[in-house]
Amino acid sequence: MQFNRRLFGLGLLGLGLSACSRAVPGSVSTSTPNGLPADLRPQPNAAYDAWVAAFRGRAAAQGISQSTLTAAFRGTGYLPGVVTRDRNQTEFSRTLEDYLSIATSDERVQKGRAAYARHRGTLNALEGRYGVDAKIICAIWGLESFYGERRGEVPVISATSTLAFDGRRGRFFEQQLIAALRIIQNGDIPASRMTGSWAGAMGHTQFIPTSFLQFAVDYTGDGRRDIWSDDPSDALASAAAYLQRNDWQRGVGWGAESPDGSLQPQPGGPRFATTANFRVIKRYNNSDAYAIGVGHLSDRIGGAGPLRMEFPPDANGFTKSDRIALQQRLTARGFDTQGADGVIGANTETAIRAYQASRGLPVTGTPSQALLQSLR
């Protein structure tokens, strides 16, 4: 597993890919007025405070000024929810079908086409400058932050310092913390505006701090590389620069669905023929599913239809249409699955359990054909 732009363990269904039928592991429902869960607000921790005091010396030795340190740590603190999320990450065994149901949902495609039309001038200019397909840039934006709607609100200094202090991946996160301080010191963003995911991925394109320092671009020419701004230009340019510097080949596609393709991520499912640019997308996130998601979403943004080849039934014998029907029928009976995307996650499992309990059935939370029939 490579540590490039993405943080290890953020997963394929992160900030911009939250499924309607799935809860994010470790999430806490109790929220504060500013929208952050209570466990993502600073809480007293004497050991953390001592760690920060010692860290300041190490940061100063690496060229971070006292004024930067003072500004960066003002109002920050230990975030217990960051540690909880880091330790409770699970390895998801989502199928490619489930992943694409979320990554290329009707809503994401529709919003992508609108975003592409709205920013066509910038995206086409970036394609001309960097050689990266404008629709690929737009698709990465869509997967990373839902076209800027989900950029993350957690203070990056608090998040990275908490994870560095916690120690499980202390060296890595201390590097990210130092990089974040350099970004503030360089004047790209005030400390108060440097927000991101719970693990420190930032802005429209979810760069980690070290990758920001290496690849971020001041496309607007205002002297700052502002990937947090409501104007996504710098962030989109930074994503394009990242791909270009990882050997993107101008004029070459990512690949395509093909019955003769050698790539079949899900047994019995569609096959894909891919190009060298498919591997470049994986430099952004080292996952076949992610790269296919970016490629297929870019095709859909450009007007293409869904995949032609069908996926096989799942372990419960359900096709996607069966899963959607189950979610719709549960919701109609008053057991809300929070949407019907055909992906069985925590919300759907909770609804199944509640329905089973109401009928005096064994409470398993597992879909079955008998359950589906009982809901007719």
The residue ranges of the chain whose pLDDT is under 70 are: 1-34, 89-93
Cα–Cα distance, 18 to 233 (Å, whole number): 24
* Burial grade of 342 (CB within 10 A; 0-12, 13-18, 19 or more): buried
Bridge partners (DSSP) of residue 31 are 37
- Interval 297-341: pLDDT, tens: 999 999 999 999 999 999 999 999 999 999 999 999 999 999 999
CB atoms within 10 A of CB 56: 15
1-93+155-216 and 94-148+232-312: identical CATH topology: no
Would you kindly state where each structural domain of the chain is located, as residue ranges? 1-93+155-216, 94-148+232-312, 320-374
Closest by Cα among 346, 340, 277, 268 to 97: 268
CB within 8 Å of 354: residues ≥ 6 apart? 335
Closest CA to 284 of 238, 253, 226, 224: 238
> In this structure, are residues 318 and 41 in contact, taking their beta carbons and an 8 Å threshold?
no
pLDDT of residue 93: 66
Give the model's pLDDT for residue 94: 84
Helix runs in 24-133, H state only: 46-61, 66-73, 80-87, 96-103, 106-118, 120-130
CATH class of 1-93+155-216: mainly alpha
Nearest to 232 by CA among 154, 102, 111, 116: 116
What are the E-state strand segments in the chain? Answer: 154-155, 195-196, 255-257, 272-274
The alpha carbon of residue 344 and the mean position of all alpha carbons in its chain are separated, in whole angstroms, by 19
Q: Name the fold adopted by 94-148+232-312.
A: Lysozyme (1.10.530)
Residue labelled with tokens 């940061």: 59
Residue 334 structure tokens: 């008053």
Instruction: Establish how many alpha carbons lie within 13 A of residue 353's alpha carbon, considering only the half-sphere containing its beta carbon.
Output: 9
Interatomic CA distance for residues 273 and 372, integer angstroms: 37
